Structure 1
Amino acid sequence: MAPVLLDRAFAHFITSGRLEVYYPDGDRRSYAGRPGPQAAMRLADTATARALLLDPALKVGEAYMAGTLYPVGCTLYELMHVLMRNVMERSPAGERVFSTLRFMARSWLQNNTRGRARRNVAHHYDLDSKLYRHFLDEDMQYSCGYFPTGHETLAEAQAAKKHHLAAKLHLHRPGMSVLDVGCGWGGLGLTLARDYGAYVTGITLSREQLHIARGRAHAAGLEGRLRFELLDYRAVARQYDRIISVGMFEHVGVAHYPAFFATMRRVLRPDGVMVLHAIGRREGPGVTNPWIDRYIFPGGYSPAVSEVVGAVEHAGLWLADCEIWRLHYARTIAHWRTRFNARRAQIARLYDERFCRMFEFYLVVSELAFRVQGHMNFQLTLSREIDALPLARDYMMARGQRVESAA
């Protein structure tokens, strides 16, 4: 019965492109809509067909990890392109039901208390750092690169991102204090201390990242200007001239936005400036894909900008500038996928094949989320005082151009 019902569901669901499905009983069916991407897949057993029918948003990824769903004559990227493009146009009935329930429960799902936030971070960021070295750039930037011309290498795009953010911070005098909230493996902090003369404090909840970041600061001879701490953002005590946060806000949780921005206002000096870089969504408030929540980023959520601005206003901060990056992260992840695939054998030895399929699926659906499902990056420049920044935003471009030309 499950294959029969799934056949009907696919006939209703595919309105763009073409999908061919090989069912467990040997039957092969084709579904087509208006011209678009094409792919084919095989289902190994009836249990997989049943699972896809009930909760496709979760079960497609689980079935690929288990090896009971796999592409036929195409890549995983091509298969997921067909599926994710059609989800944007007509979600399956089962997915609509579960999505509604998940939206109702999202305050609980994103209740990232201090203890829960630490566990969530460990789930992903405390994996063996060798994994990340296999597919990230040498600076280990695990966030969206900046491709101003579209022809940059991964390393060039990540360097451009760091200098772009530094320009927005308006570090107009040496020795300014900077708090890096969610400092990763320390690359941005190193740049701010080395190239801009800042005194940087980076905070993270990842022990693995902390260890590497401290080692990099020592190796660079910057321990006098750069220090890293294992610290929750809510526990920051002192004030700073500048605050930067890149790729951390997605782990805060909607219910904690008021507390997050209240804390940022408290630790930002009256004439200070904050730049927040995060993943957002175009279509308004939503929910995290359940597979991503379970296997990759538990408690994570990429918000609509509208959800963030209200919390900024409530905290009494000025929204001095907002910039939207649309396809920059898609380009970044495409680089990561290529590098991951080139080193898949080494990663399989580090973990196993199931882990490789999980991570491959994560990179594929993440890239496609930016290409066909309305994800983007936003950068908000915030201040406490109305005159904390120059009148015109030209200061960003002028500072960034000077640094990049000197590099």
Structure 2
Amino acid sequence: MTSSLRLLLHKIIATGSLRLTDHSGATETYGDGSGKAVAIRFTDEEAEEAVANDPLLKLGEMYMDGRMVLEEGDIYDFLALVKENTRSEALTWKMVGLTVARIAAAQVRSRLPVNHNRRNVAHHYDLNARLFDLFLDRDWQYSCAYFNPPGISLDEAQQAKKRHIASKLLLEPGQKVLEIGSGWGGMAMYLAEAAAVDVTGITLSEEQLRVSRNRAEKRALADTVRFKLQDYRYLPPQKYDRIVSVGMFEHVGIGNYGRFFGKVAEVLDDNGVMLLHSIGRPKPSYVTNPFIEKYIFPGGYIPAVGEVLPAIEKADLLIRDVEILPLHYGHTLRHWRERFVARKEEAVALYDERFFRMWEFYLAGSEMAFTHEELFIFQIQIARNQNVVPDNRDYIAEAEARYRTFEAGRPPLEPVAF
């Protein structure tokens, strides 16, 4: 076993139970033997050295390539064990140097005038649609669900999320609604059917556009719900009564917050309301996890709330409400990961074993970030006029009750067609 990896693990693992087998078959244990046992094995010395020198990137790569093998426990168990033990003094100067270099590169990329939004979105969302059917709910909601009350199913929690967001939008029949980042169309269709509003959804994914249009046509919503392949930066100067954006802001990039909210201010009616739903972090990090950046969401960045609010204020918009949802995405990701792993054979048939392990690592690492790194969801309600939103939150529960009645009589959603 490489001495650098051995030294790193001795520095990190103080509690728990980790057994590591190196490429030669030698075994060593770490921790105090408590908790769930985790066992990993490396197939070659170069993989061990790579993880020791750059764990943030190489750990995922070695697992993805089958050069680090889980022999007891799963990848979430291993990541959680490491995170529970990680201390800053375990960092090497090389790791610090890599982090600084990545921060600098990320800050430069986020401010370049070259627009890679279309390419970045296609990297993830234009994957085979059957992949997402393996783990998402029936409506293909690819953002945090709302587990209220606790213990409800994934489908129920995703419906509760749509209901909660619709209630905060203060919708009235006939209003024009813009959805920035419309996914596979589920939110737009819900709003149109629940509140009799006219919805325009924009996306940069050609695959999502195709699926969304097909779904709206099948539900006879083509006259009130339309989807466009459109970058938010170049929206025409049309006014909307309501704007909603769910799970898209993480792709905007910290250098573009001013531009994003400037465009919102341009197209939001004077009496309009916006609801922004995004992943947040406890404090700025300035850079995305390198594995996620390279393989999953290039160009993305998870903001601290304090990085977002100044851009809203500079756009002369008013913050009317901020809600933090602490662990809901952790629960959502647990459902997604378990469903994905349960259908491993289908995922491998779509792509291959390496792709399956890449996505398993992504889902497990993301779940761990919410359970161990204190990531959360924030919902920011925004307006131009302080009088358009009530001065208490009673209206939310009242609207949710109305939407529950609607849901009880809503025709069931058909399976998403590929």
**TM-score interval w.r.t. the shorter chain?**
over 0.9
Match of 2:187 in 1: 188
Match of 2:297 in 1: 297
Q: Contact 1:243 / 1:268 at 8 angstroms: preserved in 2? A: yes
- Stretches of 4+ moved more than 6 A in 1? none
Q: Contact 2:272 / 2:388 at 8 angstroms: preserved in 1? A: yes
The answer to whether residue 118 in structure 2 is matched with residue 118 in structure 1 is yes
Q: Contact 1:283 / 1:374 at 8 angstroms: preserved in 2? A: no
Match of 2:63 in 1: 64
- Equivalent positions of 1:44-55 (< 5 A) are 44-55=43-54
- Equivalent positions of 1:387-398 (< 5 A) are 387-398=387-398
Q: CA deviation at 1:391?
A: 1.9
C-alpha distance in structure 1 between counterparts of 2:29 and 2:176, whole Å: 60
Q: CA deviation at 1:290?
A: 0.1
| 114 and 104 in structure 1: CA distance in 2 versus 1, 3 angstrom threshold | closer
Match of 2:252 in 1: 252
Q: How many residues align?
A: 405
Q: CA deviation at 1:87?
A: 3.4
Higher mean displacement: 342-351 or 106-115: 106-115
| 96 and 36 in structure 1: CA distance in 2 versus 1, 3 angstrom threshold | farther
Q: CA deviation at 1:21?
A: 1.3
Q: CA deviation at 1:114?
A: 6.7
Q: Contact 1:16 / 1:37 at 8 angstroms: preserved in 2? A: no
Q: Contact 2:107 / 2:287 at 8 angstroms: preserved in 1? A: no
| 91 and 277 in structure 1: CA distance in 2 versus 1, 3 angstrom threshold | farther
| 357 and 113 in structure 1: CA distance in 2 versus 1, 3 angstrom threshold | farther
Q: CA deviation at 1:311?
A: 1.0
Q: Contact 1:112 / 1:253 at 8 angstroms: preserved in 2? A: no
Match of 1:307 in 2: 307
C-alpha distance in structure 1 between counterparts of 2:114 and 2:153, whole Å: 37
Match of 1:340 in 2: 340
C-alpha distance in structure 1 between counterparts of 2:268 and 2:276, whole Å: 13
SS in 2 for 1:21: strand
Match of 2:411 in 1: none
| 287 and 39 in structure 1: CA distance in 2 versus 1, 3 angstrom threshold | same
C-alpha distance in structure 2 between counterparts of 1:16 and 1:322, whole Å: 37
- Structural RMSD (CA): 1.6
The answer to whether residue 210 in structure 2 is matched with residue 177 in structure 1 is no
Q: Contact 1:110 / 1:300 at 8 angstroms: preserved in 2? A: no
Q: Contact 2:12 / 2:82 at 8 angstroms: preserved in 1? A: no
Q: CA deviation at 1:108?
A: 2.5
| 394 and 95 in structure 1: CA distance in 2 versus 1, 3 angstrom threshold | farther
Normalising by structure 2, we get a TM-score of: 0.93
Could you tell me which runs of 5 or more consecutive residues in structure 1 were left unpaired when the two chains were aligned.
none
Q: CA deviation at 1:111?
A: 4.6
Higher mean displacement: 233-242 or 280-289: 280-289
C-alpha distance in structure 1 between counterparts of 2:90 and 2:258, whole Å: 32
SS in 2 for 1:285: coil
Q: Contact 2:183 / 2:212 at 8 angstroms: preserved in 1? A: yes
Task: In structure 2, give the amino acid aligned to 1:104.
Answer: A
Normalising by structure 1, we get a TM-score of: 0.96
- Equivalent positions of 1:350-369 (< 5 A) are 350-369=350-369
Match of 1:75 in 2: 74
Match of 1:210 in 2: 209
Task: In structure 2, give the amino acid aligned to 1:291.
Answer: F
Task: In structure 2, give the amino acid aligned to 1:180.
Answer: E
